[in-house]
Amino acid sequence: MSAALQDLTGPVPEAMLYAARGGKGLRAFLVLEGARLHGMTRDAAMPAAAAIEALHAYSLVHDDLPCMDDDDLRRGQPTVHRKWDEATAVLAGDALQTLAFDLVSRTGCAPAAQVDLVRSLARAAGVSGMVGGQALDIAAETAVSPLSLSQITDLQAGKTGALIEWSATAGPRMAQADTGPLGRYARDLGLAFQIADDILDVEGDAATVGKATGKDADAGKATFVSLLGMGGAKQRAAALVESACDALSVYGDDAAPLRDAAAFVIARKS
Protein backbone atom coordinates (compact mmCIF):
# COMPACT_ATOMS: atom_id res chain seq x y z
CA MET A 1 0.00 0.00 0.00
CA SER A 2 2.80 2.40 0.91
CA ALA A 3 4.42 1.79 -2.48
CA ALA A 4 1.30 3.10 -4.20
CA LEU A 5 1.64 6.36 -2.26
CA GLN A 6 5.42 6.79 -2.21
CA ASP A 7 5.52 9.56 -4.85
CA LEU A 8 2.65 11.55 -3.34
CA THR A 9 3.00 14.33 -0.78
CA GLY A 10 0.62 16.43 1.25
CA PRO A 11 -1.74 15.90 4.18
CA VAL A 12 -4.09 13.45 2.48
CA PRO A 13 -1.43 10.83 1.52
CA GLU A 14 0.16 11.30 4.94
CA ALA A 15 -3.19 10.74 6.62
CA MET A 16 -3.81 7.65 4.49
CA LEU A 17 -0.54 6.06 5.58
CA TYR A 18 -1.20 7.07 9.18
CA ALA A 19 -4.65 5.45 9.10
CA ALA A 20 -3.33 2.22 7.61
CA ARG A 21 -0.49 1.69 10.07
CA GLY A 22 -0.72 -0.70 12.97
CA GLY A 23 -3.69 -2.97 13.46
CA LYS A 24 -3.87 -6.74 13.55
CA GLY A 25 -3.82 -7.32 9.80
CA LEU A 26 -6.39 -10.09 10.25
CA ARG A 27 -8.16 -9.47 6.94
CA ALA A 28 -4.93 -9.45 4.94
CA PHE A 29 -3.88 -12.64 6.73
CA LEU A 30 -7.13 -14.32 5.73
CA VAL A 31 -6.59 -13.33 2.09
CA LEU A 32 -3.07 -14.74 2.04
CA GLU A 33 -3.97 -17.96 3.83
CA GLY A 34 -6.98 -18.59 1.63
CA ALA A 35 -4.81 -18.03 -1.41
CA ARG A 36 -2.14 -20.41 -0.12
CA LEU A 37 -4.71 -23.14 0.46
CA HIS A 38 -5.73 -22.82 -3.19
CA GLY A 39 -2.28 -22.87 -4.75
CA MET A 40 -1.94 -19.13 -5.32
CA THR A 41 1.40 -17.51 -4.60
CA ARG A 42 1.88 -14.83 -1.97
CA ASP A 43 3.00 -12.35 -4.63
CA ALA A 44 -0.16 -12.97 -6.66
CA ALA A 45 -2.40 -12.50 -3.62
CA MET A 46 -0.62 -9.53 -2.04
CA PRO A 47 -2.53 -6.82 -3.97
CA ALA A 48 -5.84 -8.23 -2.68
CA ALA A 49 -4.43 -8.39 0.85
CA ALA A 50 -3.34 -4.75 0.64
CA ALA A 51 -6.70 -3.80 -0.84
CA ILE A 52 -8.74 -5.14 2.05
CA GLU A 53 -6.52 -3.39 4.58
CA ALA A 54 -6.93 -0.09 2.67
CA LEU A 55 -10.69 -0.56 2.62
CA HIS A 56 -10.79 -1.45 6.30
CA ALA A 57 -8.68 1.60 7.16
CA TYR A 58 -11.09 3.83 5.23
CA SER A 59 -14.02 2.43 7.19
CA LEU A 60 -12.30 3.18 10.49
CA VAL A 61 -11.39 6.74 9.51
CA HIS A 62 -15.00 7.51 8.61
CA ASP A 63 -16.39 5.55 11.57
CA ASP A 64 -14.36 7.73 13.96
CA LEU A 65 -15.71 11.03 12.59
CA PRO A 66 -17.87 13.29 14.82
CA CYS A 67 -20.92 12.56 12.68
CA MET A 68 -20.47 8.83 13.30
CA ASP A 69 -18.90 7.45 16.52
CA ASP A 70 -16.95 10.61 17.39
CA ASP A 71 -13.84 8.83 18.68
CA ASP A 72 -10.59 10.48 19.73
CA LEU A 73 -8.41 7.36 19.74
CA ARG A 74 -7.78 4.57 17.26
CA ARG A 75 -5.08 1.94 17.77
CA GLY A 76 -3.78 3.95 20.70
CA GLN A 77 -3.18 7.09 18.64
CA PRO A 78 -5.26 10.19 17.86
CA THR A 79 -7.86 9.53 15.17
CA VAL A 80 -7.24 11.09 11.77
CA HIS A 81 -9.71 13.93 12.22
CA ARG A 82 -8.07 14.79 15.54
CA LYS A 83 -4.52 14.68 14.22
CA TRP A 84 -5.46 16.66 11.07
CA ASP A 85 -9.04 17.87 10.62
CA GLU A 86 -12.40 16.53 9.52
CA ALA A 87 -12.01 17.45 5.85
CA THR A 88 -8.65 15.68 5.64
CA ALA A 89 -10.14 12.63 7.35
CA VAL A 90 -13.04 12.47 4.88
CA LEU A 91 -10.71 12.81 1.90
CA ALA A 92 -8.21 10.29 3.28
CA GLY A 93 -11.02 7.78 3.79
CA ASP A 94 -12.35 8.41 0.28
CA ALA A 95 -8.88 7.95 -1.18
CA LEU A 96 -8.24 4.73 0.78
CA GLN A 97 -11.51 3.30 -0.53
CA THR A 98 -10.66 4.04 -4.16
CA LEU A 99 -7.08 2.82 -3.65
CA ALA A 100 -8.52 -0.51 -2.50
CA PHE A 101 -10.18 -1.09 -5.86
CA ASP A 102 -7.03 -0.02 -7.71
CA LEU A 103 -5.05 -2.55 -5.69
CA VAL A 104 -7.48 -5.46 -5.98
CA SER A 105 -7.57 -5.05 -9.76
CA ARG A 106 -3.84 -5.87 -9.78
CA THR A 107 -4.31 -9.30 -8.20
CA GLY A 108 -2.36 -11.97 -10.07
CA CYS A 109 -5.13 -14.22 -11.32
CA ALA A 110 -7.25 -14.84 -14.41
CA PRO A 111 -9.20 -11.84 -15.75
CA ALA A 112 -12.55 -13.41 -14.86
CA ALA A 113 -11.33 -13.96 -11.31
CA GLN A 114 -10.15 -10.34 -11.09
CA VAL A 115 -13.62 -9.14 -12.10
CA ASP A 116 -15.17 -11.42 -9.48
CA LEU A 117 -12.84 -10.02 -6.80
CA VAL A 118 -13.70 -6.42 -7.67
CA ARG A 119 -17.45 -7.05 -7.88
CA SER A 120 -17.61 -9.05 -4.67
CA LEU A 121 -15.53 -6.47 -2.81
CA ALA A 122 -17.88 -3.70 -3.91
CA ARG A 123 -20.86 -5.68 -2.64
CA ALA A 124 -19.18 -6.54 0.66
CA ALA A 125 -18.23 -2.91 1.26
CA GLY A 126 -21.48 -1.31 0.10
CA VAL A 127 -25.04 -0.88 1.25
CA SER A 128 -25.70 -4.63 1.17
CA GLY A 129 -22.63 -5.21 3.36
CA MET A 130 -20.50 -3.01 5.59
CA VAL A 131 -22.17 0.35 4.86
CA GLY A 132 -25.62 -1.14 5.31
CA GLY A 133 -24.59 -2.66 8.62
CA GLN A 134 -23.17 0.65 9.77
CA ALA A 135 -26.42 2.39 8.85
CA LEU A 136 -28.39 -0.12 10.93
CA ASP A 137 -25.99 0.44 13.83
CA ILE A 138 -26.49 4.21 13.70
CA ALA A 139 -30.26 3.80 13.51
CA ALA A 140 -30.17 1.53 16.56
CA GLU A 141 -28.76 4.37 18.66
CA THR A 142 -32.04 6.28 18.45
CA ALA A 143 -34.45 3.34 18.16
CA VAL A 144 -37.42 3.28 20.52
CA SER A 145 -36.52 -0.22 21.71
CA PRO A 146 -33.18 -2.07 21.73
CA LEU A 147 -32.44 -4.51 18.94
CA SER A 148 -33.10 -8.20 19.41
CA LEU A 149 -30.38 -10.83 19.25
CA SER A 150 -31.32 -11.80 15.69
CA GLN A 151 -31.32 -8.14 14.62
CA ILE A 152 -27.87 -7.56 16.11
CA THR A 153 -26.61 -10.71 14.42
CA ASP A 154 -27.89 -9.49 11.04
CA LEU A 155 -26.45 -6.02 11.64
CA GLN A 156 -22.99 -7.35 12.47
CA ALA A 157 -23.03 -9.75 9.52
CA GLY A 158 -22.86 -6.61 7.41
CA LYS A 159 -20.91 -4.16 9.53
CA THR A 160 -18.12 -6.52 10.58
CA GLY A 161 -18.71 -9.84 8.89
CA ALA A 162 -18.94 -8.84 5.23
CA LEU A 163 -15.31 -7.75 4.87
CA ILE A 164 -14.07 -10.71 6.90
CA GLU A 165 -16.01 -13.07 4.64
CA TRP A 166 -14.63 -11.39 1.53
CA SER A 167 -11.11 -11.70 2.92
CA ALA A 168 -11.43 -15.41 3.61
CA THR A 169 -13.02 -16.19 0.25
CA ALA A 170 -10.65 -14.07 -1.85
CA GLY A 171 -8.25 -17.02 -2.20
CA PRO A 172 -10.73 -19.45 -3.73
CA ARG A 173 -12.09 -16.61 -5.88
CA MET A 174 -8.58 -16.08 -7.28
CA ALA A 175 -8.35 -19.78 -8.07
CA GLN A 176 -11.96 -19.89 -9.32
CA ALA A 177 -12.66 -22.58 -6.74
CA ASP A 178 -15.47 -23.31 -4.28
CA THR A 179 -15.84 -20.52 -1.71
CA GLY A 180 -18.19 -22.55 0.49
CA PRO A 181 -15.88 -23.88 3.23
CA LEU A 182 -14.03 -20.63 3.77
CA GLY A 183 -17.29 -18.70 3.53
CA ARG A 184 -18.76 -20.77 6.37
CA TYR A 185 -15.55 -20.36 8.37
CA ALA A 186 -15.60 -16.59 7.89
CA ARG A 187 -19.25 -16.09 8.80
CA ASP A 188 -18.71 -17.78 12.16
CA LEU A 189 -15.35 -16.05 12.61
CA GLY A 190 -16.83 -12.61 11.90
CA LEU A 191 -19.59 -13.04 14.45
CA ALA A 192 -17.12 -14.33 17.05
CA PHE A 193 -14.92 -11.30 16.31
CA GLN A 194 -17.80 -8.91 17.02
CA ILE A 195 -18.79 -10.70 20.21
CA ALA A 196 -15.17 -10.39 21.34
CA ASP A 197 -15.35 -6.66 20.58
CA ASP A 198 -18.48 -6.36 22.72
CA ILE A 199 -16.70 -8.20 25.53
CA LEU A 200 -13.68 -5.91 25.27
CA ASP A 201 -15.96 -2.87 25.41
CA VAL A 202 -16.95 -4.07 28.90
CA GLU A 203 -13.83 -5.80 30.23
CA GLY A 204 -11.06 -4.20 28.20
CA ASP A 205 -8.67 -1.47 29.25
CA ALA A 206 -8.68 1.54 26.92
CA ALA A 207 -4.88 1.74 26.91
CA THR A 208 -4.63 -1.88 25.76
CA VAL A 209 -7.62 -1.87 23.44
CA GLY A 210 -6.37 1.33 21.82
CA LYS A 211 -9.74 3.09 21.81
CA ALA A 212 -12.41 4.21 24.25
CA THR A 213 -14.27 1.45 26.07
CA GLY A 214 -17.68 1.41 27.72
CA LYS A 215 -19.29 3.46 24.95
CA ASP A 216 -21.97 0.91 24.11
CA ALA A 217 -23.23 0.73 27.68
CA ASP A 218 -23.12 4.51 28.03
CA ALA A 219 -25.23 4.84 24.88
CA GLY A 220 -27.68 2.19 26.07
CA LYS A 221 -27.06 0.05 22.96
CA ALA A 222 -28.01 -3.59 22.88
CA THR A 223 -24.97 -5.82 22.41
CA PHE A 224 -24.24 -9.53 22.58
CA VAL A 225 -23.10 -9.00 26.17
CA SER A 226 -26.21 -7.07 27.21
CA LEU A 227 -28.49 -9.69 25.66
CA LEU A 228 -26.60 -12.90 26.49
CA GLY A 229 -24.75 -11.83 29.63
CA MET A 230 -20.97 -11.96 29.87
CA GLY A 231 -20.85 -15.71 30.40
CA GLY A 232 -23.32 -16.39 27.62
CA ALA A 233 -21.45 -14.12 25.20
CA LYS A 234 -18.17 -15.90 25.89
CA GLN A 235 -19.82 -19.29 25.43
CA ARG A 236 -21.38 -18.17 22.15
CA ALA A 237 -18.04 -16.86 20.87
CA ALA A 238 -16.29 -20.11 21.78
CA ALA A 239 -19.00 -22.16 20.03
CA LEU A 240 -18.65 -20.03 16.90
CA VAL A 241 -14.89 -20.56 16.86
CA GLU A 242 -15.41 -24.31 17.12
CA SER A 243 -17.91 -24.19 14.26
CA ALA A 244 -15.55 -22.07 12.18
CA CYS A 245 -12.76 -24.58 12.67
CA ASP A 246 -15.06 -27.46 11.74
CA ALA A 247 -15.70 -25.77 8.39
CA LEU A 248 -11.98 -26.10 7.63
CA SER A 249 -11.99 -29.91 7.82
CA VAL A 250 -11.75 -30.21 4.02
CA TYR A 251 -8.29 -28.65 4.17
CA GLY A 252 -6.89 -30.92 6.87
CA ASP A 253 -3.72 -29.83 8.66
CA ASP A 254 -2.98 -27.25 5.96
CA ALA A 255 -5.56 -24.98 7.59
CA ALA A 256 -3.83 -24.93 10.99
CA PRO A 257 -2.95 -21.20 10.72
CA LEU A 258 -6.62 -20.36 10.12
CA ARG A 259 -7.64 -22.41 13.15
CA ASP A 260 -5.06 -20.51 15.20
CA ALA A 261 -6.49 -17.23 13.88
CA ALA A 262 -9.97 -18.25 15.02
CA ALA A 263 -8.68 -18.97 18.53
CA PHE A 264 -6.86 -15.61 18.53
CA VAL A 265 -10.03 -13.71 17.66
CA ILE A 266 -11.64 -14.44 21.03
CA ALA A 267 -8.43 -14.47 23.07
CA ARG A 268 -7.17 -11.04 21.96
CA LYS A 269 -6.95 -8.07 24.30
CA SER A 270 -7.25 -5.35 21.63
Q: Which domain range does residue 127 map to?
A: 10-267
CB 192 within 8 A of CB 263: no
Given this model, what pLDDT does residue 212 score? 73
DSSP string, 90-150: HHHHHHHHHHHHHHHTT-SS-HHHHHHHHHHHHHHHSTTTHHHHHHHHHHHTT-SSPPPHH
Given this model, what pLDDT does residue 1 score? 64
Residue 2 lies in a domain: no
Given this model, what pLDDT does residue 206 score? 75
Residue 3 lies in a domain: no
Q: Give residue-wise pLDDT tens across range 61-91.
A: 999 999 999 999 999 899 999 999 999 999 9
Given this model, what pLDDT does residue 242 score? 98
Q: Give residue-wise pLDDT tens across range 50-59.
A: 999 999 999 9
Given this model, what pLDDT does residue 269 score? 83
Residue 27 lies in a domain: yes
For residue 164, give every residue at least 6 positions away whose Cβ sits within 8 Å of its Cβ, in sequence order, or none: 26, 27, 30, 186, 189, 190, 193
Residue 206 lies in a domain: yes
DSSP character for 72?
A: S
The segments of the chain whose pLDDT lies below 50 read none
CATH number of the CATH domain containing 119: 1.10.600.10
Residue 4 lies in a domain: no
Structural domain total, the chain: 1
Residue 5 lies in a domain: no
Given this model, what pLDDT does residue 8 score? 74
Sequence-separated contacts (24+) of 79-83 with Cβ below 8 Å: 80/15, 80/18, 80/19, 83/15, 83/18
- The pTM assigned to this predicted structure is 0.94
Given this model, what pLDDT does residue 209 score? 72
Given this model, what pLDDT does residue 218 score? 66
